[in-house]
């Protein structure tokens, strides 16, 4: 049984086309700055789910070393069909980049990356970004000789400064892969886009942090409860204003 089927996915419920854009949009329509009122019904469902299960507020230190009032983490829950919708949104972006290979950044993004790869019927490779060998190279698990010269698209759950994505790109390029696109669920809008552009990588995101928080501020559950408090909204916006799109 496939990952998609174990997750409760039904191909009749989630339509996907490998070559034709589902909604007619182009790559230029996908950046981190679309306005909240443009969210589709599925995207609105996703935002509510992300705030319920994937976004935590408090005092955290990110992988980049920065302190943040919130973190984003995708739990591996194969029983939750909402993750299929999330994988579908990511796959729509991924499909437009014409990938030959998907490279999820270990380990938080592996599950969604596996779902995307299965839907697109393309292989995955994993750059072990914390395991530099004696020659200064990063091991790339699953990479085969015939992948040299092919386009690898990097997938991560979130981008802050772009450091992890740049490391993964370096490992893939050292093996001969072409890397010009990275896709994330959330662009935290703290400099990753600009830093990656300097490295020849275009960052595409399902959601930008600011638009996501702006939408969530006024959203409520079916029980009428707000999904984001004023206190957490203000903390997130202060953080965004402090680091907004400033490369480090």
- Count CB neighbours of 66 within 10 A: 17
Domain boundaries of the chain, sorted by first residue? 3-14+29-243
Residue ranges of the chain whose pLDDT lies below 50: 1-35, 246-248
How far apart CA 8 and CA 6 sit, in angstroms, is 5
| pLDDT for the residue 46 | 87
How far apart CA 162 and CA 189 sit, in angstroms, is 10
The DSSP bridge pattern shows strands 55-61 and 67-72 to be: antiparallel
| pLDDT for the residue 245 | 55
| pLDDT for the residue 17 | 35
| pLDDT for the residue 184 | 94
* Cβ(214)–Cβ(228) below 8 Å: no
How far apart CA 221 and CA 141 sit, in angstroms, is 42
Structure token digits, residue 176: 């001969």
User: How crowded is the C-beta side of 205, counted as CA atoms within 13 Å?
Assistant: 23
| pLDDT for the residue 129 | 82
How far apart CA 169 and CA 164 sit, in angstroms, is 9
3-class SS letters over 153-213: EEEEEEECCCHHHHHHHHHHHHCCCECCEEEEEEECCCCHHHHHHHCCCEEEEEEEHHHHH
How far apart CA 105 and CA 112 sit, in angstroms, is 11
- Count CB neighbours of 182 within 10 A: 30
| pTM > 0.75 | yes
Q: Where is 55: in which H helix or E strand?
A: strand 55-61
DSSP state of 102: E
Domain 3-14+29-243 is in which class? alpha beta
| pLDDT for the residue 30 | 38
């Amino acid at each position: 049984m496939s990952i998609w089927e174990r997750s409760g996915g039904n191909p009749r419920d989630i339509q996907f086309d490998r070559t034709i854009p589902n909604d007619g949009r182009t790559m230029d329509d996908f950046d981190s700055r679309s306005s909240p009122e443009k969210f589709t019904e599925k995207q609105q469902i996703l935002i509510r789910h992300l705030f319920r299960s994937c976004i935590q507020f408090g005092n955290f230190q990110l992988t980049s070393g920065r302190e943040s009032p919130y973190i984003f983490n995708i739990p591996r829950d194969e029983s939750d069909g909402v993750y299929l919708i999330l994988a579908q949104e990511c796959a729509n972006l991924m499909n437009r980049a014409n990938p030959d290979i998907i490279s999820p950044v270990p380990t938080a993004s592996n599950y969604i990356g596996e779902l995307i790869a299965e839907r697109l019927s393309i292989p995955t490779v994993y750059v072990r970004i914390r395991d530099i060998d004696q020659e200064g190279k990063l091991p790339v698990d699953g990479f085969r000789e015939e992948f040299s010269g092919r386009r690898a698209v990097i997938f991560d759950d979130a981008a802050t400064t772009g450091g992890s994505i740049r490391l993964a790109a370096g490992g893939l390029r050292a093996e001969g892969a072409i890397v010009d696109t990275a896709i994330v669920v959330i662009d935290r809008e703290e400099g990753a886009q600009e830093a990656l552009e300097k490295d020849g990588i275009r960052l595409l995101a399902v959601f930008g942090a600011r638009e996501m928080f702006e939408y969530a501020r006024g959203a409520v559950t079916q029980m009428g409860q707000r999904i984001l408090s004023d206190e957490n909204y203000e903390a997130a916006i202060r953080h965004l204003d402090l680091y907004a799109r400033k490369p480090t």
